[in-house]
Amino acid sequence: MKQSPLLNGNAPASLKSKPAEISGVENLIRTMLKKHKTPFMLIRKSVLEKQFARFKKAFPEVMPYYAIKANPNPKIVRTFAELGASFDVASAAEMKAVLKHGVSPSRIIFANTIKSKEDLAAARRRGVRLMTFDNEAELYKIAESFPKAHVIIRIKVANRGSVVQLSLKFGAEPDQAFYLLRKAKSLGLAPKGVSFHVGSQSTNVENYLQALELTSNIFKEAKENGMPLKIVDIGGGFPIQHFDNEIGINFERMAAVIRKQMKLLFPKQVEFIAEPGRFFAGPAGILVTQVIGRAFRDNQNFYYLNDGVYQDFSGMVFDHCKYEFKTLRRGPKYKSTLAGPTCDSFDILSNNEELPELYPGDIVYTKNIGAYSSASAVPHFNGFEPASIILV
């Protein structure tokens, strides 16, 4: 890798940003830089709509419940509400954030298997009747706080190949599912179905196929014992690309295989739902940051940005996510380090980026960062706020 010939100082005229070969994304960024201070995150409404349409085309029989934890920005929630999506919430606060957009309570699933009594009481007041559970103690709590609630059991399934493992904390053993559904009925609740989650950023379609087979067996056992079920929740975890040239991700192909298994194992009257979050919001986001300082450390360029892991790159920590860093500047590339603005040495984004020579004021941007990023950011750490979100 080339080492930078420039150790400090201002950019020479020969390395000033060149307008040639500017993409549509870069044109958008340049336009928005005239109106907004960095850092800011652009959420493209057209991409939100595109991702929703892709999902509906790939899964025409599945009702998507947008998992708002991925990005609860009100403009995003309103966009999906207008498109006709339903919603997955994990708390009373998320419930309130959805309902204020005029969404019917019947279009919400309270998909946190462990809920406080206060949040259950809020769900009852607001009429959000459908919810998940995965253990017996939770059933007693639901029965006390929300009699006659509609419950779906979440089962533990394989998460092989998923970036984020979600069966470590949630999910009943499949062989206990019917017992727990029968217990729910005995407590005056209404057992409605089975849910599972194969883990986030899952490219292993076998996880879905095995989970559907386990779910089918539970449906058969319930029917044989006079307790027919009607809802299958296939969760989320649908993968997206984070890098332009990333290979191995083909959502449509995965969906076709999953649909074939659904049709094979379940009768037509079964209702299918899903909980996409990242798939809907991730591709829509472009984070625009600026270089606020530079140094030469460990024999390579070291650039400090005005956004870091405590802000909108929080997904690198909490979501095990890797991002592709791009610049508006053109020129020869050198091995470089990118770091955030805080005083914590943990706030380093990458030690191994190939970047042109950058200077204070230069732009570094990241695509496909609309999910989790801002949602899991830490407000006010060292006084640095997360990026402003701009729907375009």
- Residues recognised as catalytic: 343
Q: Residue 67: which of 254, 197, 193 has the closest Cα?
A: 197
Compute the distance between CA of residue 160 and CA of residue 154 in angstroms, rounded to an integer: 18
Q: Residue 132: which of 231, 239, 262, 267 has the closest Cα?
A: 231
Using CB atoms within 10 A of its CB, is residue 232 exposed (0-12), middle (13-18) or buried (19+)?
Answer: buried
Cα–Cα–Cα angle for 319, 252, 48, rounded to 5 degrees: 60
SS (H, E, C) 193-228: EEECCCCEEECCHHHHHHHHHHHHHHHHHHHHCCCC
Here the tokens at position 64 are 């998507």
Helices 92-99 and 74-83: angle between axes, nearest 10 degrees: 60
- Calculated CA dihedral for residues 116, 121, 127, 132, nearest 10 degrees: 30
C-alpha count within 13 angstroms, C-beta hemisphere, residue 13: 0
Please report, for residues 78, 318, 367, 374, 380, the alpha-carbon distance to residue 377 in angstroms, rounded to integers and kept in the order given.
21, 10, 17, 5, 9
Compute the distance between CA of residue 17 and CA of residue 193 in angstroms, rounded to an integer: 57
Here the tokens at position 294 are 């530079």
Compute the distance between CA of residue 123 and CA of residue 110 in angstroms, rounded to an integer: 8
Length of the chain: 392
Compute the distance between CA of residue 126 and CA of residue 141 in angstroms, rounded to an integer: 18
Compute the distance between CA of residue 216 and CA of residue 385 in angstroms, rounded to an integer: 47
Please report, for residues 9, 17, 217, the alpha-carbon distance to residue 132 in angstroms, rounded to integers and kept in the order given.
58, 53, 19
Residues forming a β-bridge with 193: 152, 231
Residues with Cβ within 8 Å of residue 57, at least 6 apart in sequence: none
